[in-house]
Amino acid sequence: MRIELTILRNLIHNEDFVRKTLPFLKKEYFQDSSEREVFDRIQEFVTKYNSRPSREAIGLDIEANNKLSEEEHKRSMELIRELHEPEPTEMQWLLDSTEQFCQDRAIYNAIMDSIAILDGKDKNRSKNALPELLSEALGVSFDSHIGHDFLDDYEARYDFYHRKEERVPFDLEMFNTITRGGMPRKSLNIFLAGTNVGKSLVMCHMAAANLDAGKNVLYITLEMAEEKIAERIDANLLNVATEDLVQLPRDIYEKKIQRLRAKTQGKLIIKEYPTASSHVGHFRHLLNELYLKRNFAPDVIYIDYLNICTSSRIKAGANVNSYSYVKAIAEELRGLAVEKNVPIVSATQTTRSGYTNSDPGLEDTSESFGLPATADFMVALIRTEELDELGQLMVKQLKNRYSDPAMNKRFMIGLDRTKMRLFDAEDTAQDGLVKDSPVMDNTTFGMEENERSKPKSKYSKFKF
Protein backbone atom coordinates (compact mmCIF):
# COMPACT_ATOMS: atom_id res chain seq x y z
CA MET A 1 0.00 0.00 0.00
CA ARG A 2 1.26 3.45 -0.90
CA ILE A 3 1.80 5.96 1.90
CA GLU A 4 -0.19 8.56 -0.06
CA LEU A 5 -3.35 6.44 0.20
CA THR A 6 -2.80 5.96 3.96
CA ILE A 7 -2.41 9.73 4.41
CA LEU A 8 -5.58 10.55 2.47
CA ARG A 9 -7.62 7.95 4.37
CA ASN A 10 -6.53 9.34 7.72
CA LEU A 11 -7.20 12.91 6.60
CA ILE A 12 -10.85 11.93 6.20
CA HIS A 13 -11.30 9.57 9.16
CA ASN A 14 -8.75 10.66 11.80
CA GLU A 15 -9.40 14.05 13.44
CA ASP A 16 -6.19 14.04 15.49
CA PHE A 17 -4.13 13.19 12.41
CA VAL A 18 -5.71 16.04 10.47
CA ARG A 19 -4.85 18.63 13.12
CA LYS A 20 -1.25 17.48 13.44
CA THR A 21 -0.32 17.00 9.79
CA LEU A 22 -2.45 19.17 7.49
CA PRO A 23 -0.51 22.39 8.21
CA PHE A 24 2.64 20.69 6.88
CA LEU A 25 1.22 18.78 3.89
CA LYS A 26 1.33 20.37 0.44
CA LYS A 27 -0.49 19.59 -2.76
CA GLU A 28 2.77 19.24 -4.71
CA TYR A 29 3.91 16.36 -2.49
CA PHE A 30 1.41 14.08 -4.28
CA GLN A 31 2.65 12.91 -7.68
CA ASP A 32 -0.61 11.43 -8.98
CA SER A 33 -3.04 14.06 -10.33
CA SER A 34 -6.09 12.37 -8.78
CA GLU A 35 -4.38 12.30 -5.36
CA ARG A 36 -3.53 15.99 -5.74
CA GLU A 37 -7.13 16.79 -6.58
CA VAL A 38 -8.56 14.85 -3.62
CA PHE A 39 -6.03 16.40 -1.24
CA ASP A 40 -6.86 19.86 -2.59
CA ARG A 41 -10.57 19.30 -1.86
CA ILE A 42 -9.80 18.01 1.68
CA GLN A 43 -7.55 20.97 2.45
CA GLU A 44 -10.10 23.47 1.14
CA PHE A 45 -12.91 21.88 3.19
CA VAL A 46 -10.91 21.87 6.45
CA THR A 47 -9.79 25.47 5.91
CA LYS A 48 -13.34 26.65 5.29
CA TYR A 49 -15.30 24.61 7.86
CA ASN A 50 -12.59 23.74 10.42
CA SER A 51 -13.66 20.11 10.33
CA ARG A 52 -12.61 16.99 8.45
CA PRO A 53 -14.79 16.20 5.41
CA SER A 54 -16.70 13.03 4.57
CA ARG A 55 -16.14 11.03 1.40
CA GLU A 56 -19.53 12.24 0.14
CA ALA A 57 -18.55 15.89 0.57
CA ILE A 58 -15.30 15.38 -1.34
CA GLY A 59 -17.14 13.48 -4.09
CA LEU A 60 -19.69 16.29 -4.53
CA ASP A 61 -16.91 18.88 -4.74
CA ILE A 62 -15.16 16.90 -7.45
CA GLU A 63 -18.44 16.42 -9.32
CA ALA A 64 -18.87 20.19 -9.37
CA ASN A 65 -15.35 20.82 -10.73
CA ASN A 66 -15.76 21.47 -14.46
CA LYS A 67 -12.02 21.94 -14.99
CA LEU A 68 -11.30 18.21 -14.70
CA SER A 69 -11.11 16.06 -17.80
CA GLU A 70 -13.33 13.00 -18.01
CA GLU A 71 -10.35 10.72 -17.26
CA GLU A 72 -9.25 12.83 -14.25
CA HIS A 73 -12.81 12.89 -12.94
CA LYS A 74 -13.11 9.11 -13.25
CA ARG A 75 -9.80 8.42 -11.49
CA SER A 76 -10.59 10.86 -8.69
CA MET A 77 -13.96 9.22 -8.01
CA GLU A 78 -12.31 5.78 -7.99
CA LEU A 79 -9.77 7.05 -5.47
CA ILE A 80 -12.53 8.39 -3.20
CA ARG A 81 -14.14 4.95 -3.13
CA GLU A 82 -10.83 3.58 -1.79
CA LEU A 83 -10.79 6.04 1.09
CA HIS A 84 -12.67 3.82 3.51
CA GLU A 85 -11.94 3.97 7.22
CA PRO A 86 -8.43 2.59 7.87
CA GLU A 87 -7.59 -0.08 10.41
CA PRO A 88 -6.36 1.24 13.80
CA THR A 89 -2.68 2.15 13.54
CA GLU A 90 -0.12 3.45 16.04
CA MET A 91 -0.44 7.24 15.90
CA GLN A 92 3.25 7.97 16.32
CA TRP A 93 4.09 5.66 13.43
CA LEU A 94 1.57 7.50 11.27
CA LEU A 95 3.07 10.86 12.17
CA ASP A 96 6.66 9.69 11.66
CA SER A 97 5.85 8.07 8.31
CA THR A 98 3.97 11.14 7.11
CA GLU A 99 6.79 13.44 8.18
CA GLN A 100 9.30 11.25 6.33
CA PHE A 101 7.07 11.32 3.25
CA CYS A 102 6.94 15.13 3.34
CA GLN A 103 10.70 15.41 3.76
CA ASP A 104 11.42 13.00 0.91
CA ARG A 105 8.97 14.70 -1.45
CA ALA A 106 10.19 18.18 -0.53
CA ILE A 107 13.80 17.24 -1.27
CA TYR A 108 12.82 15.49 -4.52
CA ASN A 109 10.79 18.47 -5.70
CA ALA A 110 13.61 20.88 -4.77
CA ILE A 111 16.12 18.82 -6.77
CA MET A 112 13.81 18.70 -9.81
CA ASP A 113 13.20 22.46 -9.58
CA SER A 114 16.95 23.03 -9.31
CA ILE A 115 17.55 20.98 -12.46
CA ALA A 116 14.90 23.00 -14.27
CA ILE A 117 16.58 26.25 -13.19
CA LEU A 118 20.03 25.04 -14.28
CA ASP A 119 18.64 23.88 -17.64
CA GLY A 120 17.05 27.29 -18.16
CA LYS A 121 13.51 25.89 -18.22
CA ASP A 122 12.42 28.00 -15.26
CA LYS A 123 12.24 31.59 -16.48
CA ASN A 124 11.09 33.04 -13.16
CA ARG A 125 14.00 31.95 -10.96
CA SER A 126 17.79 32.22 -11.29
CA LYS A 127 20.62 30.13 -9.86
CA ASN A 128 20.59 32.38 -6.80
CA ALA A 129 17.35 30.68 -5.75
CA LEU A 130 19.02 27.24 -5.40
CA PRO A 131 20.33 27.61 -1.82
CA GLU A 132 16.93 28.80 -0.58
CA LEU A 133 15.14 25.98 -2.39
CA LEU A 134 17.31 23.27 -0.86
CA SER A 135 17.34 24.93 2.57
CA GLU A 136 13.55 25.00 2.73
CA ALA A 137 13.34 21.37 1.63
CA LEU A 138 15.84 20.21 4.24
CA GLY A 139 14.00 22.19 6.91
CA VAL A 140 10.68 20.39 6.50
CA SER A 141 9.58 19.15 9.92
CA PHE A 142 6.40 18.61 11.93
CA ASP A 143 8.00 20.34 14.92
CA SER A 144 6.06 23.57 15.36
CA HIS A 145 7.91 24.64 18.50
CA ILE A 146 10.31 27.46 17.64
CA GLY A 147 10.86 28.97 21.05
CA HIS A 148 9.32 29.87 24.40
CA ASP A 149 7.17 33.01 24.30
CA PHE A 150 7.73 34.48 27.76
CA LEU A 151 4.41 36.35 27.99
CA ASP A 152 2.13 33.96 26.10
CA ASP A 153 3.53 30.70 27.51
CA TYR A 154 3.30 31.64 31.19
CA GLU A 155 0.79 28.87 31.96
CA ALA A 156 3.09 26.17 30.63
CA ARG A 157 5.93 27.74 32.57
CA TYR A 158 3.93 27.74 35.79
CA ASP A 159 3.03 24.08 35.26
CA PHE A 160 6.72 23.34 34.74
CA TYR A 161 7.59 24.95 38.06
CA HIS A 162 5.10 22.71 39.86
CA ARG A 163 5.67 19.52 37.89
CA LYS A 164 7.41 16.81 39.85
CA GLU A 165 10.45 15.80 37.85
CA GLU A 166 10.92 12.07 37.44
CA ARG A 167 14.05 10.95 39.24
CA VAL A 168 15.93 7.75 40.04
CA PRO A 169 16.33 7.85 43.84
CA PHE A 170 19.36 6.73 45.82
CA ASP A 171 19.16 4.40 48.81
CA LEU A 172 21.36 6.82 50.77
CA GLU A 173 19.65 9.66 52.61
CA MET A 174 22.35 12.31 52.12
CA PHE A 175 22.55 11.71 48.36
CA ASN A 176 18.77 12.11 48.09
CA THR A 177 19.01 15.29 50.17
CA ILE A 178 21.62 16.99 47.99
CA THR A 179 19.88 15.95 44.74
CA ARG A 180 16.33 16.69 45.92
CA GLY A 181 15.20 13.11 45.62
CA GLY A 182 17.59 11.43 43.21
CA MET A 183 19.12 11.70 39.75
CA PRO A 184 16.91 13.38 37.13
CA ARG A 185 16.65 11.76 33.73
CA LYS A 186 18.74 13.20 30.89
CA SER A 187 21.67 13.90 33.20
CA LEU A 188 25.36 13.04 33.52
CA ASN A 189 26.55 12.27 37.07
CA ILE A 190 30.23 11.84 37.91
CA PHE A 191 32.21 10.44 40.85
CA LEU A 192 35.76 11.78 41.21
CA ALA A 193 38.28 9.69 43.14
CA GLY A 194 41.83 8.42 43.07
CA THR A 195 42.92 4.88 42.27
CA ASN A 196 41.57 2.25 44.69
CA VAL A 197 39.38 4.74 46.56
CA GLY A 198 36.09 3.13 45.58
CA LYS A 199 34.64 4.47 42.32
CA SER A 200 33.57 1.06 41.04
CA LEU A 201 32.42 0.01 44.52
CA VAL A 202 30.12 3.03 44.75
CA MET A 203 28.68 2.45 41.28
CA CYS A 204 28.19 -1.28 41.94
CA HIS A 205 26.37 -0.48 45.18
CA MET A 206 24.12 2.04 43.47
CA ALA A 207 23.39 -0.34 40.59
CA ALA A 208 22.46 -3.03 43.13
CA ALA A 209 20.23 -0.59 45.01
CA ASN A 210 18.48 0.40 41.78
CA LEU A 211 17.84 -3.25 40.92
CA ASP A 212 16.55 -3.90 44.44
CA ALA A 213 14.15 -0.97 43.97
CA GLY A 214 12.70 -2.52 40.80
CA LYS A 215 14.63 -0.45 38.24
CA ASN A 216 16.14 -1.71 34.99
CA VAL A 217 19.89 -1.16 35.14
CA LEU A 218 22.57 -1.33 32.46
CA TYR A 219 26.16 -1.53 33.75
CA ILE A 220 28.82 -1.02 31.09
CA THR A 221 32.34 -1.89 32.21
CA LEU A 222 35.53 -1.02 30.34
CA GLU A 223 37.87 -1.72 33.25
CA MET A 224 36.88 -4.96 34.98
CA ALA A 225 35.42 -8.18 33.61
CA GLU A 226 31.64 -8.72 33.63
CA GLU A 227 32.10 -11.51 36.18
CA LYS A 228 34.03 -9.23 38.58
CA ILE A 229 31.28 -6.61 38.47
CA ALA A 230 28.66 -9.32 38.98
CA GLU A 231 30.67 -10.68 41.94
CA ARG A 232 30.60 -7.28 43.65
CA ILE A 233 26.88 -6.89 43.07
CA ASP A 234 26.33 -10.46 44.30
CA ALA A 235 28.16 -9.64 47.53
CA ASN A 236 26.07 -6.51 47.95
CA LEU A 237 22.63 -7.98 47.25
CA LEU A 238 23.17 -11.38 48.85
CA ASN A 239 24.84 -9.88 51.95
CA VAL A 240 27.84 -12.18 51.59
CA ALA A 241 31.51 -11.14 51.74
CA THR A 242 33.25 -11.43 48.37
CA GLU A 243 35.80 -13.93 49.71
CA ASP A 244 32.93 -16.11 51.01
CA LEU A 245 31.08 -16.28 47.69
CA VAL A 246 33.34 -19.04 46.37
CA GLN A 247 32.60 -21.14 49.45
CA LEU A 248 28.83 -20.71 49.21
CA PRO A 249 27.08 -24.03 48.32
CA ARG A 250 25.25 -24.00 44.99
CA ASP A 251 21.82 -24.72 46.49
CA ILE A 252 22.10 -21.84 48.99
CA TYR A 253 23.35 -19.51 46.25
CA GLU A 254 20.43 -20.47 44.01
CA LYS A 255 17.93 -19.91 46.83
CA LYS A 256 19.32 -16.43 47.48
CA ILE A 257 19.10 -15.56 43.78
CA GLN A 258 15.52 -16.85 43.57
CA ARG A 259 14.52 -14.77 46.60
CA LEU A 260 16.07 -11.74 44.93
CA ARG A 261 14.27 -12.52 41.66
CA ALA A 262 10.93 -12.72 43.48
CA LYS A 263 11.62 -9.47 45.29
CA THR A 264 12.33 -7.18 42.33
CA GLN A 265 10.67 -6.44 39.00
CA GLY A 266 13.86 -4.94 37.58
CA LYS A 267 16.66 -6.39 35.50
CA LEU A 268 20.40 -5.81 35.56
CA ILE A 269 22.48 -6.26 32.42
CA ILE A 270 26.29 -6.11 32.67
CA LYS A 271 28.19 -5.62 29.42
CA GLU A 272 31.98 -5.63 29.10
CA TYR A 273 33.90 -3.74 26.42
CA PRO A 274 37.68 -3.69 25.88
CA THR A 275 39.38 -0.70 27.47
CA ALA A 276 39.66 2.40 25.26
CA SER A 277 37.85 0.80 22.32
CA SER A 278 34.18 1.76 22.72
CA HIS A 279 32.15 4.94 22.42
CA VAL A 280 28.51 6.07 22.48
CA GLY A 281 27.94 4.53 19.05
CA HIS A 282 28.63 1.08 20.52
CA PHE A 283 26.51 1.87 23.58
CA ARG A 284 23.61 3.07 21.41
CA HIS A 285 23.80 -0.13 19.34
CA LEU A 286 23.79 -2.17 22.56
CA LEU A 287 20.68 -0.35 23.79
CA ASN A 288 18.89 -1.03 20.50
CA GLU A 289 19.89 -4.70 20.59
CA LEU A 290 18.71 -5.10 24.17
CA TYR A 291 15.37 -3.51 23.34
CA LEU A 292 14.80 -5.67 20.26
CA LYS A 293 16.06 -8.98 21.63
CA ARG A 294 15.14 -8.76 25.32
CA ASN A 295 12.58 -5.96 25.44
CA PHE A 296 14.94 -4.26 27.90
CA ALA A 297 15.09 -0.49 28.30
CA PRO A 298 17.23 0.77 31.21
CA ASP A 299 16.07 3.30 33.79
CA VAL A 300 19.69 4.16 34.59
CA ILE A 301 23.05 3.48 32.92
CA TYR A 302 26.41 3.07 34.68
CA ILE A 303 29.63 3.42 32.68
CA ASP A 304 32.81 2.32 34.44
CA TYR A 305 34.44 4.65 33.59
CA LEU A 306 34.40 7.75 31.36
CA ASN A 307 38.12 8.36 30.77
CA ILE A 308 38.68 4.94 29.22
CA CYS A 309 35.88 5.37 26.69
CA THR A 310 36.67 6.70 23.23
CA SER A 311 35.05 9.54 21.34
CA SER A 312 32.72 8.87 18.42
CA ARG A 313 33.61 12.25 16.89
CA ILE A 314 37.39 12.30 17.34
CA LYS A 315 39.36 9.45 15.82
CA ALA A 316 41.71 7.51 18.04
CA GLY A 317 45.27 8.75 17.63
CA ALA A 318 44.16 12.12 16.31
CA ASN A 319 46.37 15.07 17.16
CA VAL A 320 44.11 16.51 19.85
CA ASN A 321 44.74 17.50 23.45
CA SER A 322 43.26 15.59 26.38
CA TYR A 323 41.03 18.53 27.36
CA SER A 324 39.15 18.42 24.05
CA TYR A 325 39.12 14.62 23.87
CA VAL A 326 37.69 13.93 27.34
CA LYS A 327 35.27 16.84 27.01
CA ALA A 328 34.03 15.32 23.75
CA ILE A 329 33.43 11.97 25.48
CA ALA A 330 31.52 13.70 28.29
CA GLU A 331 29.37 15.64 25.82
CA GLU A 332 28.59 12.48 23.86
CA LEU A 333 27.59 10.58 27.00
CA ARG A 334 25.37 13.42 28.14
CA GLY A 335 23.84 13.52 24.66
CA LEU A 336 23.10 9.79 24.96
CA ALA A 337 21.44 10.43 28.34
CA VAL A 338 19.18 13.03 26.73
CA GLU A 339 18.45 10.83 23.72
CA LYS A 340 17.51 7.79 25.83
CA ASN A 341 15.88 9.80 28.63
CA VAL A 342 17.96 8.19 31.39
CA PRO A 343 20.51 9.34 33.95
CA ILE A 344 24.05 8.19 33.18
CA VAL A 345 26.49 7.62 36.03
CA SER A 346 30.23 7.42 35.48
CA ALA A 347 33.53 8.21 37.19
CA THR A 348 36.86 9.89 36.60
CA GLN A 349 40.31 9.84 38.17
CA THR A 350 41.95 12.60 40.18
CA THR A 351 45.27 14.09 39.19
CA ARG A 352 48.45 12.92 40.90
CA SER A 353 48.31 15.82 43.38
CA GLY A 354 44.60 15.22 43.91
CA TYR A 355 45.25 11.63 44.97
CA THR A 356 47.03 12.79 48.14
CA ASN A 357 44.74 15.78 48.69
CA SER A 358 42.29 15.35 51.56
CA ASP A 359 40.13 18.13 50.14
CA PRO A 360 40.02 17.72 46.33
CA GLY A 361 38.30 20.25 44.09
CA LEU A 362 37.24 20.48 40.46
CA GLU A 363 40.80 21.46 39.57
CA ASP A 364 41.89 17.96 40.62
CA THR A 365 39.97 16.34 37.75
CA SER A 366 42.46 14.43 35.62
CA GLU A 367 43.03 15.06 31.91
CA SER A 368 40.27 17.58 31.24
CA PHE A 369 38.50 20.39 33.05
CA GLY A 370 35.91 20.08 30.27
CA LEU A 371 34.42 17.08 32.10
CA PRO A 372 33.17 19.01 35.16
CA ALA A 373 32.03 21.75 32.79
CA THR A 374 29.75 19.21 31.06
CA ALA A 375 28.56 17.13 34.04
CA ASP A 376 25.31 17.95 35.84
CA PHE A 377 26.41 16.51 39.17
CA MET A 378 29.89 15.74 40.43
CA VAL A 379 31.14 14.62 43.84
CA ALA A 380 34.54 13.62 45.14
CA LEU A 381 35.12 10.44 47.16
CA ILE A 382 37.75 10.87 49.87
CA ARG A 383 39.49 7.97 51.61
CA THR A 384 42.05 8.17 54.41
CA GLU A 385 43.53 5.66 56.85
CA GLU A 386 41.49 7.19 59.67
CA LEU A 387 38.27 6.84 57.68
CA ASP A 388 39.16 3.25 56.76
CA GLU A 389 39.44 2.41 60.45
CA LEU A 390 35.99 3.93 61.04
CA GLY A 391 34.48 2.17 58.03
CA GLN A 392 33.53 5.48 56.42
CA LEU A 393 33.94 7.37 53.18
CA MET A 394 33.80 11.14 52.89
CA VAL A 395 31.83 12.73 50.05
CA LYS A 396 32.38 16.30 48.91
CA GLN A 397 30.10 18.12 46.48
CA LEU A 398 31.98 19.68 43.57
CA LYS A 399 29.15 20.60 41.21
CA ASN A 400 25.39 20.31 41.60
CA ARG A 401 22.78 21.55 39.14
CA TYR A 402 19.98 20.03 41.21
CA SER A 403 20.51 21.95 44.43
CA ASP A 404 22.81 24.38 46.23
CA PRO A 405 26.23 22.66 46.50
CA ALA A 406 27.10 24.82 49.51
CA MET A 407 24.51 22.98 51.59
CA ASN A 408 25.83 19.71 53.04
CA LYS A 409 29.02 20.32 51.09
CA ARG A 410 30.73 17.42 52.87
CA PHE A 411 29.23 14.41 54.55
CA MET A 412 30.08 10.88 55.61
CA ILE A 413 28.64 7.59 54.41
CA GLY A 414 29.22 4.16 55.91
CA LEU A 415 31.29 1.63 53.97
CA ASP A 416 31.55 -2.16 54.18
CA ARG A 417 34.25 -3.12 51.68
CA THR A 418 33.92 -6.87 52.26
CA LYS A 419 30.30 -6.82 51.07
CA MET A 420 30.70 -3.91 48.66
CA ARG A 421 28.04 -1.95 50.50
CA LEU A 422 27.36 1.65 51.41
CA PHE A 423 24.98 2.75 54.13
CA ASP A 424 23.82 5.88 55.91
CA ALA A 425 26.30 6.91 58.58
CA GLU A 426 25.13 7.86 62.04
CA ASP A 427 24.38 11.51 62.72
CA THR A 428 27.43 11.74 64.95
CA ALA A 429 29.61 10.93 61.93
CA GLN A 430 28.65 14.31 60.46
CA ASP A 431 29.78 16.21 63.55
CA GLY A 432 32.70 18.55 63.01
CA LEU A 433 32.19 18.81 59.23
CA VAL A 434 32.12 22.49 58.32
CA LYS A 435 29.83 23.18 55.39
CA ASP A 436 31.56 26.24 54.02
CA SER A 437 35.29 25.74 54.69
CA PRO A 438 37.77 23.04 53.63
CA VAL A 439 38.51 20.14 55.95
CA MET A 440 42.16 21.20 56.17
CA ASP A 441 41.12 24.61 57.57
CA ASN A 442 39.94 22.88 60.74
CA THR A 443 43.31 21.28 61.43
CA THR A 444 46.03 22.98 63.50
CA PHE A 445 48.19 23.40 60.42
CA GLY A 446 45.26 24.82 58.45
CA MET A 447 44.36 27.35 61.13
CA GLU A 448 47.97 28.49 61.37
CA GLU A 449 48.16 28.92 57.61
CA ASN A 450 44.94 30.92 57.59
CA GLU A 451 46.28 33.17 60.34
CA ARG A 452 49.52 33.80 58.44
CA SER A 453 47.63 34.55 55.21
CA LYS A 454 45.36 37.18 56.77
CA PRO A 455 45.87 40.75 55.43
CA LYS A 456 48.26 42.71 57.59
CA SER A 457 47.27 45.98 59.19
CA LYS A 458 47.91 49.07 57.13
CA TYR A 459 50.22 50.23 59.88
CA SER A 460 52.32 47.06 59.88
CA LYS A 461 54.90 48.54 57.48
CA PHE A 462 55.77 51.22 60.00
CA LYS A 463 58.18 50.40 62.77
CA PHE A 464 57.55 52.05 66.10
Residue 138 makes CB contacts below 8 A (sequence gap 6+) with 107
The set of long-range contacts for 53-57, using a CB threshold of 8 Å and a minimum separation of 24, is 53/12, 54/12, 55/12, 55/80, 55/81, 55/83
Q: Cβ distance 354 to 366 under 8 Å?
A: yes
Q: How far apart are CA 249 and CA 253, in angstroms?
A: 6
Please give the pLDDT value at position 309: 93
Q: How far apart are CA 15 and CA 3, in angstroms?
A: 18
Distances from the Cα of 396 to the Cα of 175, 220, 405, 447, 452, angstroms? 11, 25, 9, 20, 26
Distances from the Cα of 456 to the Cα of 169, 441, 444, 448, angstroms? 49, 19, 21, 15
Q: Cβ distance 196 to 349 under 8 Å?
A: no
Q: How far apart are CA 414 and CA 417, in angstroms?
A: 10
First to last CA, the chain: 102
Fold of 167-450: Rossmann fold (3.40.50)
Q: How far apart are CA 459 and CA 43, in angstroms?
A: 87
Residue 344 makes CB contacts below 8 A (sequence gap 6+) with 187, 188, 189, 300, 301, 302, 303, 333, 334, 336, 337
Which residues are registered as beta bridge partners of 365? 350
Q: How far apart are CA 166 and CA 179, in angstroms?
A: 12
Which letter, b or e, does each residue of 134-145 get, where b requires 16 or more Cβ atoms within 10 Å of its Cβ? beebeebeeeee
Q: Cβ distance 334 to 374 under 8 Å?
A: yes
Give domain limits for the chain.
Answer: 3-138, 167-450
Q: How far apart are CA 236 and CA 206, in angstroms?
A: 10
Q: CATH number of the domain at 3-138, please?
A: 1.10.860.10
| Full-model pTM | 0.65
Which residues are registered as beta bridge partners of 217? 268, 300
pLDDT digits (tens), the chain, 464 positions: 689 999 999 999 999 898 888 888 999 999 899 999 999 999 999 999 988 899 899 989 888 888 888 888 899 999 998 888 888 888 889 989 999 999 999 999 899 989 988 888 888 888 877 877 777 777 777 766 667 788 888 898 888 888 777 899 999 999 999 999 999 999 999 999 988 898 999 999 999 999 999 999 999 999 899 999 999 999 999 999 999 998 999 999 999 999 999 999 999 999 999 998 899 999 999 999 999 889 999 999 999 989 999 998 887 667 788 888 899 999 999 999 999 999 999 999 988 776 667 788 888 888 788 899 999 999 999 988 888 899 999 999 999 999 998 888 999 999 999 999 999 988 877 776 644 444 444 455 555 555 655 544 443 443 33
